[in-house]
Amino acid sequence: DELDAIGSQRLKIATSGDREVQRTLMQLLSELDGFEQRGDVKIIGATNRVDILDPALLRPGRFDRMIYFPIPDELTRKSIFKIHTRSLKVEEAIDFKRLVNLTEGATGADIKAICTEAGMFAIRKEAESIVSKDFLEAIDKVMKKIQDKWEESRLYS
């Protein structure tokens, strides 16, 4: 995960930290090429910044196949909310459609964090179940980038 942390494009002007990252990249490239066959070993890397990866990483024989995992759509976000609230005591009146609409652009990890944080809000209040307000506060905390959208939706509730 976060292959871009050590596999970003090499720079001509670099700090000592950048040079260390470049040395790490060179070692990784060397290991990927190797001197012997790897047999059935598969190497998988993940990044959300494929645009900054060094082209040498993407040449045949290294990380030569890319599989794109898009941001979850509405139906998928709803399913992710259901999965992560399955074992939680959640008020029946939760409007998951509203939560889904407020989390456009969220990843599965973001939604999991929202569910966890909503549970923490309920625990801190010593509540018996998680209510809509807990989810809305969790969205605000976890998804700062959608705060304006959340504020707009509160005007119409």
Give pLDDT tens digits for 87-114: 999 998 899 999 999 999 898 989 999 9
Using an 8 Å Cβ cutoff, are 32 and 43 in contact? yes
Residue 64 phi, psi dihedral angles, 5° rounding: -100, 0
pLDDT of residue 152 exceeding 70, the answer is: no
Across the chain, the runs of DSSP E, i.e. the strands, are none
Angle, CA 155 vertex, CA 92 and CA 99 arms, to 5°: 35
Reading the block at residue 22, the tokens are 């470049």
Q: Which domains does the chain have, with CATH numbers?
A: 4-58 (no CATH), 74-155 (1.10.8.60)
26-76: pLDDT as tens digits? 898 888 887 667 677 788 888 878 888 889 998 888 888 889 989 999 999
130 strand-pairing partners? 90
What one-letter code names the amino acid at 66? M
**According to the model, what pLDDT value does residue 61 have?**
81
| Sequence-separated (6 or more) residues with CB below 8 Å from residue 69 | none
Q: What is the pLDDT of residues 8-40, one digit of tens each?
A: 887 766 677 777 888 888 898 888 887 667 677
**Contact predicate 47/8, CB 8 Å:** no
pLDDT band for 150, please (50, 70, 90 cuts).
Answer: very low
Q: What angle do the packed helices 108-124 and 132-142 form, to 10 degrees?
A: 130
110 in Cβ contact with 76 (< 8 Å): no
User: From CA 146, how far away is CA 133, in angstroms rounded?
Assistant: 16
Q: Which long-range contacts (CB under 8 A, 24 or more apart) does 21-27 make?
A: 25/54, 25/56, 25/57
User: What three-state secondary structure class fits 55?
Assistant: helix
